[in-house]
Amino acid sequence: MFEEVGTTTEGDLIINMGPQHPATHGVLHLVVTLNGETIKNVEPHLGYIHRSIEKMCESLTYRQFIYVTSRMDYLSAHINNHACAMCVEKGLQLEVPPRAQVIRVLMDELTRLASHELWWGAMAMDLGAFTPFFHAFREREVINDIMEETCGARLTMNYMVPGGVMHDLHPNFQQRVKDFLQLYKRKIHEYDELVTGNIIFQNRMKGVGIISPEDVISYGCTGPVARGSGVSSDVRKLYPYEIYDKLEFDEVLEDGCDSFARYMVRIREMQQSVRIIEQLIDNIPDGEFQAKTKAVLKLPKGEFYSKAETARGELGVYIVSEGGTTPYRIKFRSPGFSNLSALNHLVKGGKIGDLIAAMGTLDLVIPDIDR
Amino acid sequence: MWSLSNIAANIDQWLNANMSPTWALIVEMVIAGVAVIGLFAALGLVLVIMERKVSAWIQIRLGPNRVGPKGMLQSLADTLKLLVKEGMTPGGADKLLFNVAPFVAMIVAMLLLAPIAFAKDFQLWDLNIGVLYISAVSSISVISILMAGWASNNKYSLLGAMRSGAQIVSYELSAGLAVLAIVVLTGSLRISDIIQAQENGWWLFKGHIPVIIAFIIFIIAVTAETNRAPFDLAEAESELTAGFHTEYSGMKFALFFLAEYVNVFIVCAIGATLFLGGWMPFHIGNWHAFNGVMDWIPSSVWFFGKTFFLIFVIMWFRWTFPRLRIDQLLNLEWKYLLPISMFNLLLVTLIAIMGWHF
C-alpha cells in the first residue's frame, strides 16, 4: 500500500506546495512530484501546527482539558468537546439530563451545518470560483451569531462540560434557529445553481480522485470520505450516542467513489442536519441542563473510549486514568489524519487541478491533523 | 457640436496653421503617444475599480468604499502604493528577461490600442490590415508571459507560463476564425470599413445564426487569450499561488496587472467593433426616423457602452465559474471550438457568397 518515498527519476519536477499555499487551508506541506502537469507522487509533511494538545491535556484536569480540544478541529469545536465530555461521563458513569442531551445534539448539528457551509465555499474557491465562499458565509454567519448568543463565542465555544452544557440556552435561541431554517431553505437552491449544476464543476469533479470501498477501509477514512465510496461509517447511526437513536435521519451514502460523490454526501448531509434540527427545536424538554457533579472530578482507574461523528468523520477520544484528577494519557483519533493519508492514492496520475479538487473534498482542517 | 473627432480635427488645424507639416506631424505623434500612455493608465484604473465593484455586487458585499467618493479612488491609491514599493528581483533570476517581461506585456497592450476606433473618425491608425494587425500583435503577449515565467527561477511561475503558452497559442485559432467570419462578410480587413458595413444593422443581427455562433466562440476564446477565469490557469491562485507573476512585486507586478485589464478592454473593444458595430449607433434597415434618434447619442458613448457591456460579461464569467483543468481546457479548444468555428466559417462564407445576410 505504501509507495517507496523518493522514487523520483531524472526530469521530474518537485514542488513544495505549502506550508504557505492558498489551497492547503493552513500549514500543510505537500511535496508533489510532477511529470509535466501529471502527479507522480504526493507526500504530506506534517507538524507545522503541532501544539502537543494530547500532552497538554495530561496536565489539565478533566474539566479543563475539554477547552483545549476546541482548538483541534476548530470547525467542529462543539463536537470535539462533546466527544471528550462523553468520555469523561463514561468514566464517572454520569447520567446526562434529557434537556442537556437535546441541546448537545442541536449544537452538534448546527456546528455540522456551519462546517459544511465553510467547506462548500472553500472547496469552490479551490476550484477557482470565489463567489460561493461569500454565499456560504452569509448563512454561516447566522449560525455563528446563534452560537455567540448562547455560548459566548463564535468559533471555540467550550459549551459542553462533563454532565451537560455550561449554561442554559439563550431565550432567543429557538426563535433564531427557526428563522435560520427559514432563511436556509430559501437559499439552499442557490448552492445547486451556483456550483453543483455547473458543467465545468461537474467535469472537474466526476471521475477524479477515485478511492474504492476497500481502500477506504484500509486507509481508515471515515465521515463523508468513506460515505462517498458507499462505506457506512456514520457513528451517529452505528454507535448512537445521546438521543441520536430516537431521531429520524438517513445516513447519506453515495457510490460514486469520486470527488463528486464526496461533494454530494456533504451537500445531502446538510439537509439531514436541517431535518434533525427541525425535529428537536420545538421539543426541547424542560429540566436541568447539567447533571450535579463534584467540584473536582476524579476518574476511576481504567481506560475509557468514546467517539462522535464530527463534520469530518469519526473522532475517537481515549483516556487512560490512574485514578487522579488529570488523565494519565489521552489520545485523539482524528478523522483528518486518516483522510489525509489517502490523498496520494486519490490523486496519483491526475493533474495538479485534480490534486486541489481532491484535497478540497477531503475537507482537511490542518490543526485537526497535527493536534 | 463637440465630439472627439472635432477636437482632433481642431488640434490638427491649429498645428498645421502654426508649423510646417513635418513638425505638425511630429507633434501630433507625441500627443498621440502621450494619449495612449494616459489611456493605458486610465483604463487600468477604471477597470480595476469596476472589477472590484462588480465582484462585490455579485458576492453580496460592498467592495472598496473608503478612498474617495464611494471608494472610486481606491485603485489610484493602490497604484501609488505599488509605485513606491521596491522592485525586487529574486536571486537566481535572469535579470534582463525578468525586468523586460512586464514592459513587453505593456507595450503589446499599448500597440493594440492603435487601430481601435473610439468614436466616429477618431482612430489613431486606420491601417488597411487592421484585423490582421490585431491578431498578429496580440499573439506577442504570450512571449512576455513565457519570459516572466522562465526568468523568475520559480517552479510555479514556470508551470504557469507553460500552461499559458499552450492556452494562448490554441485559443488564438478560434479567435482568429471567429474574426475571419466578419472579415468574410465585410470583404475588408480595415476597421473603418467593417464599422461602415454595419451602418444598417450590426453583424450580430444581420448575419443569422452563424455570426451569433462566431460571436460566442469569440467571447470564449478571448476570455482564454486574456487569461481570465474560467481560463485563468496561468495564474491559478489555488494551484500555482500566482502563476507566472509569483515573483513580481511593486510596479513590475502592476504593469502585468494593468496590461491584463487593458487587454480585456482591447478584446472587448474588438468584439464590439466586429460584431456590435463599434461606434455605429443601433440602426434598423431603413427606419430613418428611428435611426435619426439613435444618431443623437454620441458615437463615443455607443462605443464605450458596448465595450463596457462586454467587459461586464467577461467579469461576470470570472465571478461565477470555477476554473477548468488544463486537459479540459485544451480539449474544449481542439475538440469543440476549433471544429465548430471551422465549419461555421464555411457557413458564413456561404452566406456571404449567396448574399443571404441582411
Query: Is any Cβ of chain B less than 8 angstroms from the Cβ of A90?
Result: no
Specify the DSSP class assigned to residue A94. P
Mutate to test the interface with B, among A130, A193, A260 (most CBs of B within 10 A): A130
Residue with cell 502585468: B256
Question: What cell does A124 get?
Answer: 469552490
Query: Is any Cβ of chain B less than 8 angstroms from the Cβ of A135?
Result: yes
The count of CB pairs under 8 A between chains A and B is 85
* Distance, CA of B143 to chain centre: 17
Q: How far is B326 from chain A (nearest CA, A)?
A: 8
Query: Is any Cβ of chain B less than 8 angstroms from the Cβ of A138?
Result: yes
> Cβ contact (<8 Å) for B321 and A129?
yes
Burial class (CB in 10 A: 0-12, 13-18, 19+), A138: middle
Residue B117: left if φ>0, alpha if ψ -120 to 50, beta else—which one? beta
Beta strands B117-119 and A302-309, pairing class:
unpaired
Ranges A47-56, A66-75, B121-130: which has the least confidence: B121-130
The band of A9, judged by pLDDT with boundaries at 50, 70 and 90, is: low
The band of A10, judged by pLDDT with boundaries at 50, 70 and 90, is: low
Q: Show which of residues 151-190 on chain B sit within 8 Å of chain A, judged by CB atoms.
A: 155-156, 159, 163
**For position A135, what pLDDT does the model report?**
86
Q: Show which of residues 215-254 on chain B sit within 8 Å of chain A, judged by CB atoms.
A: 229-230, 232, 236-241
What is the three-class DSSP state of A30? strand
> Cβ contact (<8 Å) for B238 and A356?
yes
Question: What cell does B220 get?
Answer: 470564449
Please name every residue paired with A17 in a beta bridge, in sequence order, or none if there are none: A30
Residue B10: left if φ>0, alpha if ψ -120 to 50, beta else—which one? alpha
Q: pLDDT digits over B308-334, tens only?
A: 999 999 888 888 888 888 888 888 889
Q: pLDDT digits over A288-324, tens only?
A: 888 888 888 888 888 999 988 888 888 899 999 888 8
Chain B residues in contact with A191 (beta carbon < 8 A): none
Closest by CA position to A340, among listed A353, A326, A359: A359
C-alpha distance from residue B79 to each of A192, A222, B54, B106, B258 (Å): 38, 49, 19, 15, 10
The CA radius of gyration of chain B, in Å to the nearest whole number, is: 21
Chain B residues in contact with A131 (beta carbon < 8 A): 55, 58-59, 319-320
Mutate to test the interface with A, among B159, B239, B332 (most CBs of A within 10 A): B239
- Bond preceding residue A19 cis, omega within 30 of 0: yes
Q: How far is B188 from chain A (nearest CA, A)?
A: 37
Chain B residues in contact with A356 (beta carbon < 8 A): 238-239
H/E run at residue B4: helix B4-18
List of long-range contacts for A318-326, beta carbons under 8 Å, 24+ apart: A318/A87, A319/A87, A319/A88, A319/A91, A321/A91, A323/A298, A323/A299, A324/A298, A325/A61, A325/A62, A325/A296, A325/A297, A325/A298, A326/A58, A326/A59, A326/A60, A326/A61, A326/A62, A326/A65
* Distance, CA of A160 to chain centre: 17
C-alpha neighbours within 13 Å on the C-beta side of residue A196: 15
The band of A2, judged by pLDDT with boundaries at 50, 70 and 90, is: very low
Residue B202: left if φ>0, alpha if ψ -120 to 50, beta else—which one? beta
Chain B residues in contact with A200 (beta carbon < 8 A): 230, 321-324, 328
Q: pLDDT digits over B126-168, tens only?
A: 888 888 898 888 888 888 888 888 888 888 888 888 888 888 8
Question: What cell does A52 get?
Answer: 502537543
Specify the DSSP class assigned to residue A186. H
CB A207 within 8 A of CB A347: no
Chain A residues in contact with B229 (beta carbon < 8 A): 128
- In DSSP notation, A302-343 reads EEEEEEEE-SSSEEEEEEEE-SSSS-SEEEEE-HHHHHHHTH
Question: What cell does B57 get?
Answer: 455586487
> Cβ contact (<8 Å) for B241 and A21?
yes
Query: Is any Cβ of chain A less than 8 angstroms from the Cβ of B22?
Result: no
Q: How far is B283 from chain A (nearest CA, A)?
A: 37
Chain B residues in contact with A198 (beta carbon < 8 A): 321-322
**Domain A49-370 CATH (choose: 1.25.10.10, 1.10.645.10, 1.10.150.240, 3.90.850.10):** 1.10.645.10
What is the three-class DSSP state of B248? coil
Minimal Cβ distance to B325: which of A23, A138, A353: A353
**For position A1, what pLDDT does the model report?**
41
Minimal Cβ distance to B322: which of A37, A127, A351: A127
Query: Is any Cβ of chain A less than 8 angstroms from the Cβ of B119?
Result: no
- Report, as an integer, the average pLDDT of B60-86: 85
Query: Is any Cβ of chain B less than 8 angstroms from the Cβ of A12?
Result: no
Query: Is any Cβ of chain B less than 8 angstroms from the Cβ of A23?
Result: yes
Distance CA B55, CA B50 (A): 8
Q: Domain residues of chain B, as ranges?
A: 1-84, 92-354
> Cβ contact (<8 Å) for B320 and A352?
no
CB B174 within 8 A of CB B221: yes
Query: Is any Cβ of chain B less than 8 angstroms from the Cβ of A195?
Result: yes
Query: Is any Cβ of chain A less than 8 angstroms from the Cβ of B76?
Result: no
Q: Domain residues of chain A, as ranges?
A: 49-370
> Cβ contact (<8 Å) for B326 and A22?
no
pLDDT at A4 over 80: no
Q: pLDDT digits over B234-293, tens only?
A: 777 777 777 788 888 888 888 888 888 888 898 899 888 888 887 888 877 777 787 777
**Chain A residue at shortest CA distance from B321:** A129
Q: How far is B12 from chain A (nearest CA, A)?
A: 49
Question: What cell does B358 get?
Answer: 441582411
For A333, other C-beta atoms within 10 Å of its C-beta total: 17
Query: Is any Cβ of chain B less than 8 angstroms from the Cβ of A126?
Result: yes
Chain B residues in contact with A138 (beta carbon < 8 A): 60
- Bond preceding residue B102 cis, omega within 30 of 0: no
Q: What percent of chain B has pLDDT over 90?
A: 3
Q: pLDDT digits over B26-52, tens only?
A: 888 888 888 888 888 888 888 888 888
The band of B2, judged by pLDDT with boundaries at 50, 70 and 90, is: low
Query: Is any Cβ of chain B less than 8 angstroms from the Cβ of A38?
Result: no
**Chain A residue at shortest CA distance from B62:** A134
Chain A residues in contact with B322 (beta carbon < 8 A): 124, 127-129, 195, 198, 200-201, 204
Q: What is the ipTM of this complex?
A: 0.80
Distance CA B90, CA B105 (A): 20
The band of A137, judged by pLDDT with boundaries at 50, 70 and 90, is: confident
For A107, other C-beta atoms within 10 Å of its C-beta total: 26
Write down the number of H helices and E strands in chain B.
16, 2
